[in-house]
């Protein structure tokens, strides 16, 4: 992703990612 990409432009992407500890009992993993 280009750092100068327009936040609402077509070259920008939206990523939804989970961490490796999501779903475990480790504290603060759902943030």
pLDDT in tens, 1-31: 778 888 888 888 888 888 888 888 888 776 6
Write the DSSP symbol of residue 5.
-
DSSP codes, 16-31: ----TTTTSS-TTTT-
Return the pLDDT at 4. 85
Return the pLDDT at 31. 66
Return the pLDDT at 19. 81
- pTM here is 0.32
Name residue, tokens 């280009």. 2
Return the pLDDT at 21. 83
């Amino acid at each position: 992703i280009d750092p100068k990409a327009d936040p609402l432009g077509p070259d920008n992407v939206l990523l939804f990612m989970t961490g490796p500890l999501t779903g475990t009992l480790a504290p603060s993993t759902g943030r």
